Amino acid sequence: MKWSGLKKEFQYIIVAIIVIFFAFVPLFGSTYAITLSSTIMMYIVMASCWNMFSGPAGYISLASGAFVGLGFYASGFLSTRFPLPVLMLAGGLASLVLAVIIGSITLRLRGVYFTIFTFCLVELVKAVMTWYEIMVVRKRGLNVRNFGPNAAFYAMLVMVVIALAVVVIVRKTRFGMALTGIGESEDAAAHIGINTTAYKVSGFAVTAFMMGTVGAVRATMLNHIDPTSAFNMMFSFLPVLMCVFGGMNTFLGPIIGAIVFAALQYNLITKIPQIYMIIFGAIMILSILFMPTGIVGVYERVRKAIENRKIQKVGGHL
C-alpha cells in the first residue's frame, strides 16, 4: 500500500482532525447533521475496510451488501433484548462466519469469477431471508429498536476509530505484505511460503466483521428493515466507488471517497432517486478512465509536476 505524497504523520493528523470534527457534531449539530455524520462514518468504515482487503489482494468483492444485511438482521432479531454493542458483535460475527465459509469456497476463484460470485451472494442471502419471512415466520421484515441518534452516532464513531486502527495495523504488518504479495503475483506468493488461502480468507473475514458491525448500527437508525433494505446492492457498490474515486490502496482515498459519496447520496436519494445511480455510475467510469489512482493519485501527480518545475527553475539558475 502506498502512503501517497503526504507524510505518514501528516495523514494521521488529517484523519485525526476529521474524527475529532465528527466527535463534536452531536454537541452543536442538528439531528440532520448527526444522522448524516453517522451515515458518512458508516461508509468510512466500509470503504476503508473494503480497501484493506480488496485493494492489495486484488480480489474485488461485491459481498458487502450481504455482510451489512446480516448486521441489519442481527439487530432486527436481537434489538429488543440486548444493548447496541451486543448487536454489533452479533452482526460482525455472523458476517465473519459467512465470510469464512464463502471465502474458503470462492477465494480460490481468481479475478472476475470471485467478483461475480460475491455479487450473486447478496441476492442469494436476500432470497433466503425473503423465503424465511414468507414461508416460516409469515411476516415481512422486522422492527428495530431505535437507541436514539446519539447512540448510533457514537457507535459509528467508535467503529471508525477501530477500523482505521485495524487498517493501519494490517498495512504495517506482514498480514498486509502478504495480501500485497497475493495481489501482485499469487503464484510467487504461494511459492515463497505464503499460505494464500489463509491470508485471503482472514482478510475477507475481518472486512466482513467490520461491515457486519456497522450494518447492525445502521439498522437501529431505521425503524423497520426487510430483505430489500438490508441486502442492498448499494452497500456493495458504494465502497468500491468510494475507493476508486478516492484512490485504491491509499489510506486517505477511501475516507475522502466515503465523505464525498455518502454526503452526495444522502442529498440525492430523496431529490433524484431515479437518476442518482446513473450519476454515480458515470463518476465511477470517469474515475477509472481519467484518474485510475483516484483523487489521492491526482494530488500526487500535481505535486510531482510542481516539484519538477521547481527543480527545473533551480537548475536554470545554475
Region 137-176 residues binding other proteins, contact defined as CB under 8 A: 174
Among 97, 151, 158, 177, binds other proteins (CB under 8 A): 177
Residue 34-73 contact track with other proteins, rule CB under 8 A, x = bound? ----------------------------------------
Give the shortest CB-172-to-other proteins separation in angstroms: 11
Regarding 110 and contact with other proteins (CB under 8 A), the answer is no
Give the shortest CB-314-to-other proteins separation in angstroms: 24
Give the shortest CB-59-to-other proteins separation in angstroms: 16
Total residues contacting other proteins by CB under 8 A comes to 18
Regarding 279 and contact with other proteins (CB under 8 A), the answer is no
Among 178, 211, 214, 244, binds other proteins (CB under 8 A): 178
Regarding 293 and contact with other proteins (CB under 8 A), the answer is no
Task: Dihedral sign for Cα 234, 87, 81, 30, please.
Answer: negative
Q: Which is nearer to other proteins, 224 or 304 (CB)?
A: 304
Residue 182-221 contact track with other proteins, rule CB under 8 A, x = bound? --xx-xxxxxxxxxxx------------------------
Regarding 9 and contact with other proteins (CB under 8 A), the answer is no
Give the residues lining the site for other proteins (CB under 8 A): 174, 177-178, 180-181, 184-185, 187-197
